[in-house]
Structure 1
Amino acid sequence: MRQRHSHRHARGQAGFTLVEAIIVIVVTGIVAAMTAAFIRLPVQGYIDTEARADMADAADLALRRMSRELRLALPFSIGLYNGNQTIQFLLTKTGARYIDAAFQPPATLLPLDFVGGNPSFDIVGAAPTGRQAIVPGDYIVIANSGTPPANAYAFGAGADNISRVAAINGTRVTLQQNLFASTQSPQQMFQVVTGTVTYVCTPAANGGGTLQRYYTTNIVSGVGNLAALGTPAVLTGMVAGCAFNNVPLAGRGGALMTMALTLQRAGGESARLVRQTQLDNPI
């Protein structure tokens, strides 16, 4: 009697048979495969959307930076190079007015000398302060038109509308050398240039290119010598394409800059962003 009870108890403790285990594994595999088929597409869509959003943000940040600085470009100093994939311009930070000798100012105020080459002159009103403060090494530019002799790019080579600052004390500016001559402003206005900015776009297949910003405190014309453009800083990588175009606005004295930038992940998603910036070019 005891032996029969023990035998029934042993049979009750038995586990799954091999056939049952195989059936469970097969069923589990089928369920997992079906679940993966339903989940894969939404997950992949989410990953692709995130990738496009990241690239769009990177492109937008780069183009916003370019637009902001282009609005500070010295009038008639924007140039396009390398098949409209490079932008160069002279960067301004402020402007002010000089005293004209024709107004017969008091002896305590020095007008800007267009005849004798006196290197010192006084600013009308208070001198710019903070980030806009005039400092030694800046350039004073008057009525830039982009054509000789009022072409600031020809600094030191015949331009008579640009001179470099040696010192400033209060409202009195002293130039390294007074090169001003025939080019004058009817409103006695000048602009302060800090140097040359160059945006160089180098696209490559599968997003292997870059968009770089070069800056130098020197006046540089053209992009034939990259070493002369200053130290580069990468605005964004993943660059697959870019195109810049500057179209004059007839009768409005300005231009419309269109910038297109395409970013792409290696062998994957891409995003193209276009931004237009209206530029004013007063003299």
Structure 2
Amino acid sequence: MRMRHRHTGFTLVELVVVIVVLGAISAGTAVYIVRSMEAYSDTVRRDQLTSTARIAVEKMTRELRNALPNSVRIRCTTPSCTSSDTHCIEFFPVQSGSSYESVPRTAANVSFAAVDYIAPQTPATAYVAVYPYSTSSLYDKNNPGPLADYDDSNSDPANGEVYLTSSHRFTHDSPHKRFFLTGPPISYCLGTGGDLRRYQNYSINSAQPVPPAGSGALLAENLQLSDGGTAVTPFRYDPGSLQRNGVVTLDLRVRQDNEWVRLLHEVQIRNVP
């Protein structure tokens, strides 16, 4: 008697069903993985943009807090400025200061006595400022005027002796008998290419240079001067009054791969010269 053996296996229909089911599962899993990776990439990109803007704001804030009173001036804050204009903020950085006994007011002199003070960080290119009452008077740098060149070779900070490079007469006495030692002006400029640059070691100009001479140090990239077709004002300055200090508003918008980050920050500027 012969035994018949029955062979079992998959039918074509079963095989097709399995393939369809596995394909559906794989497609769903792939979509989930892709979306998870896209979400991660977006988060990383936003974090990078935020870091870029935050570093730029922090750098400018630290220097602006030491700005000489009434030295802040801004190019491009009026409605006539567009996204094709370069925006700049300029100021004198305070490096030291103290109180004086008297300064040459009625006649020009080359020195005056003061309370001992700390030497400026850049003594070879420092300036002495006494009662900087207006922005234009500082940048005009006239004699008489509130700004004079500091003479590092003859000055003696430990004994309170302040020498100027040439005879100068200051136009006003400070109510608090205060003088400042500042470095050359500093500018931050944002151009149409989206680069924010820091400029230093250039000559004082009565008309604000936009931008100053030189290439400048790159601080941040991909900043925008247009938001949906509307021109952006990255720098704004509200002068101080009897009730409050001056305020600089920094409005920086960074864009990369259609991702936007905006940082709006206010910096208080000393108001008492």
Q: Normalised by the shorter chain, which TM-score bucket?
A: 0.7 to 0.9
What amino acid is the match of 1:75? Answer: P
Unaligned 5+ residue runs, structure 2? 1-9, 79-86, 226-231
Cα distance per residue 1:150-205 (max 9 Å; x no partner): x11111x34522111122234323211132243221322101110111111124xx
In the alignment, which residue of structure 1 is the partner of 2:138?
Answer: 152
Aligned to 2:218: 234
What does residue 74 of structure 2 align with? Answer: 80
Structure showing greater Rg: 1
Tell me the SS of whatever aligns to 2:53: helix
Equivalents in 2 of 1:40, 1:280: separation in Å?
A: 52
The residue that corresponds to 1:93 in the other structure is: 95
Whole-angstrom CA distance in 2 between matches of 1:177 and 1:282: 27
Bigger mean CA deviation after superposition, 216-225 or 230-239: 216-225
**Do the aligned residues in 2 keep the contact of 1:215 with 1:231 (CA within 8 Å)?**
no
Which amino acid in 2 is paired with 1:60? Answer: R
- 1:201 maps onto 2:190 in alignment: yes
Q: Which structure carries more relative contact order (alpha carbon 8 Å, separation 6+)?
A: 2
Which residue of the partner structure matches residue 279 of structure 1? 269
**Corresponding residue for 1:139?**
127
Q: Secondary structure at the match of 1:176?
A: strand
- Matched to 2:178, the amino acid is M
| 1:253/1:282 contact within 8 Å kept | no
Normalising by structure 1, we get a TM-score of: 0.75
Which residue matches 2:173? 184
8 Å CA contact 1:78–1:89 kept in 2: the answer is yes
Aligned mates of 1:28, 1:223 — CA distance in 2? 69
For the residues of structure 2 that align with 1:128 and 1:277, how far apart are their CA atoms?
A: 26
> Unaligned 5+ residue runs, structure 1?
1-15, 101-111
Contact 2:187 2:198 in 1 (8 A): yes
Q: CA RMSD in A?
A: 3.0
Q: What pairs with 1:29-108 in structure 2 (closer than 5 Å)?
A: 29-83=23-77, 85-100=87-102
Superimposed CA distance per residue, residues 119-151 of structure 1 (whole angstroms, 9 cap, x where no aligned partner): 1333313x215xx45723210000001167xx1
CA distance in structure 2 between the partners assigned to 1:65 and 1:245 by the alignment: 17
Aligned partners of 2:251 and 2:263 also within 8 Å: yes
